[in-house]
Each structure stands twice: as C-alpha cells, then as structure tokens.
Amino acid sequence: MSNWPPDWLRNHPAGVQDSLDAVLSGGLEAPIVLTRLFLLLGSADKISSLLSRAESERWAAGDEEGSERLRAVSDLAAADPAAFDKMRDVLAILHGEPQHRDAAVRPSVAAAFDAAVELSPAASVALYSLGDPKLLGNATAELVSLLRDCGLIARKTRVLEIGCGIGRFAQALAAEVRSFTGIDVSTNMIRVAHERCVNLPNVAFAITSGDDLGNHADSSFDLVLAVDSFPYIVATRPGLAKRHVTESARVLAAGGSLAIFNFAYGEDFSVSRERLRRAGEEVGLSLIAADPNPLRSWDGSFFHLRKRS
C-alpha cells in the first residue's frame, strides 16, 4: 500500500495502525474497529480527527476503496455520539476507566454486570455493539454461523452456555437445538434473558455461583458454550478456569464439544491455546481447533475442544 503508514501515525499508540490496517484490508468490520480505537484513544474527538486525516491520506494516494472504508467507520462514529458515553460508562463499571482496564476485575463480578446491564444491555455483553441492539444482532449472527460451520449445532444438540448474559445466543439458537440452558452470575442479566426468551419452551436460565457446574448432571449436554465469559473466570481467582474446563468435560456427553470465545484478556493467543490444550488433555478433551481471530465483527479468539468417546 503506497505511502502507508504515514509518518504521523508514529505519534499514536501502536494498536492504532493495526486498527487502521484492519479497516483498509477489510479484515474487520466498522464497529469492532471503532471499539478498538476507543479503547486506545478514549476520546470521540481524537477518533474523529484520526479517521479524517487517514481518509484524506488514502484519497490523495488514489486509494478510493480504503478511503470509503475509513469513511464508513467515521459515519458510524457520527451516527450516535452517545455510544461513546455508553461504552465509557460500561467500562467504568466492569473494568475501571479505559486507561485502567488492565486492573483487576472488581471483587463482585455479579454486581458489576448487574449494574452494566441496567445501563446498556447490548454494551454490557459486547462493548463492540456500541450499545446498538442491531449491531449486536449482526455480531451474534456471525458467531452462530461459525458454530454451524464447525458442526456444533444440530436438532439433537443440548446446549449449556456459561455466562449467558442477556440470552442473545439462546434466542438465536433455540429453533435449531433440542434445548438451551443459560447460566450467569448476574441476577439482572438472567432477568433480561428471561424477558427476551419468554416464548421459547426449550430455553431455561438459572443463576450460578460461578464456582462450578454443580447443578448439572454428568453427560447432560452436547455443547458447552462460553462467549467472552472465561476472561472473567480467569481473573476471578487462580485455578477457577481449569475447574470450569474440568466441569465442562464432566457435563458433556461423549463426543460433545466445549466452544470458548476468548480465554484470557491480555494473554498471548499461543499461551491460551497451550493452557487449554493441557487442561483439556487432563480430563479427556482434545483441542480440535484454535483460531486467534475467526470473525469480522469481533476480534475474539476461538477454541474448540471435544470430549473423547
């Protein structure tokens, strides 16, 4: 790509160039790129200025397609200026302010999510939705499509979701599976999930302690799904993530699968992959697939473990 990256990008955090590269290559969609830039820059004005300058650069270089992709991100940012306030408030509840997001998770994860869902149901389960239910729906649909492509969804499938949040995957998958059970530590999340899925007879939700899967019988599920919940399990206390892998193996029927999207925030993908491979091998789960970024609407990693027959 001629004249790219420009010298002035050196004055920005390294991740900014990676985010712009993702836009220009078409590798990631506008909402997740905008979320990345917000986490890096923390200011709507800074994001707007950056995108405007990058767009002008690409236009001057004759890169019309790249310029249009940057404009799409700018248009999304301008469509709902209040989205940044929602994102900032949700981050403050769950992780502290953006500049302090590497700090330890608050003592009560349940209380944090109880508060976040009241502020914005969509942003509380997926910051990259920008608090927009439509954007959240698009991202949910892409992840569900990946589950189908991996052969994890069928009419006979009994699903358990760890950290079900507001029930978006239960709602999306109910018509395609035998049953769907969602568990979460947040009472308010479960309440919203019940409201969303009230007319789905094969869907059930329950509060969990977050310590194990003790309320569920051996070999009672064909798929254990965890979408962005393991990072909170990992951060809660040492050994808890391994315990949930062990518990997942227990509740899975022979040949069943554990599908994890994101394992640990801030951890190198190869480290997470090896940790999961070892934890799985100890309890009869084989690591079938691992992908650092299989989706365009979200930059979450994917791990698929299968219980040996």
pLDDT tens digit string along 120-169?
Answer: 999 999 999 999 999 999 999 999 999 999 999 999 999 999 999 999 99
pLDDT tens digit string along 229-278?
A: 999 999 999 999 999 999 999 999 999 999 999 999 999 999 999 999 99
Question: What tokens appear for 76 in the block?
Answer: 């999304």
Distance CA 82, CA 192 (A): 23
**Which candidate, 38, 34, 10, places its Cα nearest to that of 22?**
34
Q: Please report which confidence band the pLDDT of residue 71 belongs to, taking 50, 70 and 90 as the band edges.
A: very high
Distance CA 175, CA 296 (A): 25
Check residue 109 and give its pLDDT.
85
Distance CA 104, CA 255 (A): 36
Rg (CA), the chain: 20
pLDDT tens digit string along 17-48?
A: 999 999 999 999 999 999 999 999 988 999 99
- Residue 5: asked if its preceding bond is cis (omega within 30°), the reply is yes
Residue 97 has pLDDT above 90, yes or no: no
Question: What tokens appear for 146 in the block?
Answer: 């990946």
β-pairing, 252-261 vs 221-227, is parallel
Distance CA 118, CA 93 (A): 11
pTM of the model: 0.90
Check residue 108 and give its pLDDT.
78
Handedness of CA 49, 52, 54, 57 (dihedral sign): negative
Residue 16 has pLDDT above 70, yes or no: yes
Question: What tokens appear for 140 in the block?
Answer: 């949910």
β-pairing, 285-291 vs 302-307, is antiparallel
Question: What tokens appear for 239 in the block?
Answer: 């050994």
Segment (H or E) for 278 = helix 269-282
